Amino acid sequence: METKRPCLIDHYERRLNYLRISITDRCNLRCRYCMPSEGLEKLAHEDILTYEEILRLARIAVGLGVDKIRLTGGEPLVRKDFPHLLPELMSIPGLKDVSITTNGIYLKEHLENIRSAGVSRINISLDSLKRDRYRKITGFDGFERVREAIQLAQTLGFHPIKINMVVLKGINDDEVADFARLSTRYPFHVRFIEYMPSGLLLHNEPLHHVSNAVIRERLEAVEPLIQLPRKPTDGPTVRYRFEGAQGEIGFISPLTHHFCQVCNRLRLTAKGHLRPCLLSDEELDLRGPMRAGATDRDLEDIFVGAADHKPRAHHLNSKDSESLSGQMSAIGG
């Protein structure tokens, strides 16, 4: 008799249907909240999952009920032949939603391929609307490239186009109203992400942290925000919009607002480890067993093990300066 396939439900009744895959630890930017200017030690080429391995793990995850996959990095678009991964990923039966998180630098040249593979959802990280400041934050004079990519994404019918801003006190927090206003004029979903201080980046003292509650207050002073009803797909985002706006505004507050009770995610790191929680260092190795000949069933068990290890909640708060010890670029954010 056929045994019933396990499903990814954790000990706290959360159904884990969302997998974020970091397809590379490499990046062409050096965002000051994510990487030191000299870069981080890179994984050896052979330590990074191959496309075949990524696809195999994605199929297994979908077989276990994952229906949403986001490709991230490092910067996913620096991985060679990136567009070849998409059509195969899109053809996995049962996978309803594939999206990409990118810094936008190489996006323009990839957009048509991404769209023709059937992907319409894209998240673009952008932390300043000022060219010089963008360069200071990312270490690269790339603002115009990102702006053009966003414009083209709109022309090609991507929706939603999410613009993710990590807000840093004293660095870009004076631009939050300008970012929010983008959602009035354009159908963009502007997302304010609380900065998570990283133990790897000692220059990024917790002093740069600014809570989303403060940002919301500042926006309310500009114009009242209307809270939008929660959708099952919202995950950790709390959504608002300005009256009559084409787009919306979202707040992701990992530190000041525990969103763990609605967390439906697992993360697959660039080196093939499953990470049950972004803010805990525990990881389960998939690559080792896979390369040693594990069957799909064995790998399924590791996925189920990751669900079993998902903590009820993280224990960090905005006062922890050494809190995030993993490399965001290898985990995928």
Q: Which residues contact ligand SF4 by CB under 6 A?
A: 27, 29-31, 34-35, 73-75, 103, 125, 328-329
| Binding status of residue 279 toward ligand SAM by CB under 6 A | no
How far is residue 178's CA from residue 166's CA, in Å, rounded to a whole number? 14
- Residue 182 contacts by C-beta under 8 Å, 6 or more apart in sequence? 163, 188, 190, 247
| Binding status of residue 329 toward ligand SAM by CB under 6 A | yes
Partner whose footprint covers residue 30, from ligand SF4, ligand SAM, none (CB < 5 to 8 Å by kind): ligand SF4
- Residue 14 contacts by C-beta under 8 Å, 6 or more apart in sequence? 261, 262, 263, 264, 310
| Binding status of residue 34 toward ligand SAM by CB under 6 A | yes
Q: Decide whether 123 or 212 has the Cβ nearer to ligand SF4.
A: 123
State the nearest-atom distance from the C-beta of 222 to ligand SAM, in Å: 23
Q: Which helix (H) or strand (E) holds 298?
A: helix 296-308
| Binding status of residue 72 toward ligand SAM by CB under 6 A | yes
Q: Decide whether 27 or 60 has the Cβ nearer to ligand SAM.
A: 27
Q: Decide whether 31 or 58 has the Cβ nearer to ligand SF4.
A: 31
Which of residues 17, 99, 101, 264 is near ligand SAM by CB under 6 A? 101
Which of residues 62, 73, 128, 290 is near ligand SAM by CB under 6 A? 73
How far is residue 191's CA from residue 212's CA, in Å, rounded to a whole number? 10
How far is residue 253's CA from residue 136's CA, in Å, rounded to a whole number? 24
As a dihedral over the C-alpha atoms of residue 5, residue 9, residue 11, residue 14, rounded to 10 degrees, the angle is -170
Partner whose footprint covers residue 143, from ligand SAM, ligand SF4, none (CB < 5 to 8 Å by kind): none
| Binding status of residue 237 toward ligand SAM by CB under 6 A | no
Which residue carries 């500009």 as its tokens? 222
